[in-house]
Amino acid sequence: MTANPAADIAGAIRRGEKTASGVLEEHLARVQAREPEIHAFNLVLEENARDTAAQIDAAVARGVDPGPLAGVPIALKDNLCTRGVPTTCSSRMLAGWRPPYDATVVARVTAAGAVAIGKTNLDEFAMGSSTENSAFGPTRNPLDPSRVPGGSSGGSAAAVAAGFAPLALGSDTGGSIRQPAALCGVVGTKPTYGVVSRYGLVAFASSLDQIGPFARSVGDAALLFDVIAGHDPADSTSLAGAPPVASAALEHGVDGLRVGLVTELVGAEGLSGEVVAGTRAAAEALASAGAKVEEVSVPATVYGLSAYYLIAPAEASSNLSRYDGVRYGHRATGAADITDMYIASRSEGFGPEVKRRIMLGTYALSAGYYDAYYGQAQKVRTLIIRDFEVAYQSFDVLLSPTAPGTAFPLGAKTADPLLMYLNDVCTIPSNLAGHPAMSVPWGAGADGLPLGVQVLAPALGETVMFQVAATLERLAPAAGRKVES
């Protein structure tokens, strides 16, 4: 069975077999060795982390349990507010901004004993699929630095894949946790919308954004999920009641579970043959383990990409309107009047992809076009939700590819936004529906780079989703083993 490095570290520190300070220095040494090449971080929190680790060691010495993540280094995506620490969203618009408070998830992992080791690079304001849109330069895939790590949470995925931290937090609006997890060969989870608080997450598209874990194993991802999940009165969209327990059924296997292989996602545009073959092999492995596996149609998912790229930019244009150089964000100097100052501040502060999405969203919301574009996209979203509901009447979980292929070379898709957007063709439907989904490594492509398979579940279905993911992890081809297409 795959090791759970985060759980192992926390257990050893709580038993006094290791120190948090010693574990931290091991990880900082890895950061020092490879971070100049990888650029997973916008900021490494060396001194803050050392202070936190020392406090954890002192607590253990006093006989106090620091929590389930005792001494585990964790990387935080740089759109999660961290009190007193620069939180930039990888944008010039927020360069140097220091929030006066912690995001709820940051407070929860800290209370559980984790040690924040750094703020990770991302596509600016989480808009992208390759972490090439950062104002501070791209992140590189640790498995092949000539290639992208995926995005927008590429820095978090790269940090875990490179061994800089056993755990990381990212945000997922249309696949921004799952797609980089697949490309970097780690586990990435998007929870049910509302299960994890968004308070302190700098908003991209508020009806789609969700925070979730990266880890090297399903067990560690479950451990982190169980720490960050739960109601938060500071978030008006937070679900009341006890959250699902991800770790509850990891060892239960899949005997008797009903698994649906989504026809439209296996046949989605742009998928490589080896991705499709890998997903079908994963379905066959689950069937061999006792699951009842059949293909299932979720027809409206074929419109997911189109609907998403109307809804998400529309919400982004609204959320980012606050960055005007007066209330928030970078302010240009030397403008003749306030109108010129607004224009100059936003022109200087935002990068090309953010500007593109703001313009798309503003157009979709404009008078005369709202019903034809934004309103129509919301109707498609409803169709997707209904089609998933029908599928989940017959299946406990669904299965699909995560990304269209393995990690692609840096610069390969930057000149073609539509080709870049296709990276999220399999992940977007779960965001539109508000359902949980996660990517699990599954062998490698012909280039030796990782492939991922996606497990989807109905709302609040994290327990069974993690149960199936844990079985896939146990059955997966050895790391680096090629999947025959």
Active site residues: 77, 152, 176
User: Rounded distance, CA 19 to CA 6, Å?
Assistant: 14
Judge if the upstream peptide bond of residue 129 is cis by omega within 30 degrees of 0. Answer: no
- The helix (H) or strand (E) run that includes residue 57 is helix 46-61
State residue 454 phi and psi, 5-degree precision.
-105, 130
DSSP 202: P
CA triplet 375, 381, 386: central angle to 5 degrees?
130
Token pair belonging to 326: 């007066």
Q: Are strands 211-215 and 167-171 parallel, antiparallel or unpaired?
A: antiparallel
**Selection from 30, 24, 31, 76 nearest residue 50 by Cα:** 24
Q: Are strands 115-120 and 167-171 parallel, antiparallel or unpaired?
A: unpaired
Q: Determine what percent of the chain falls in helix, strand and coil, rounding each to the nearest 5.
A: 45, 15, 45
8 Å CB contact between 466 and 416: no
User: Rounded distance, CA 454 to CA 261, Å?
Assistant: 10
The 3-state DSSP class for residue 267 equals coil
Half-sphere exposure of 109 (CA within 13 A, CB side): 29
- Can you give the length of the chain in residues? 485
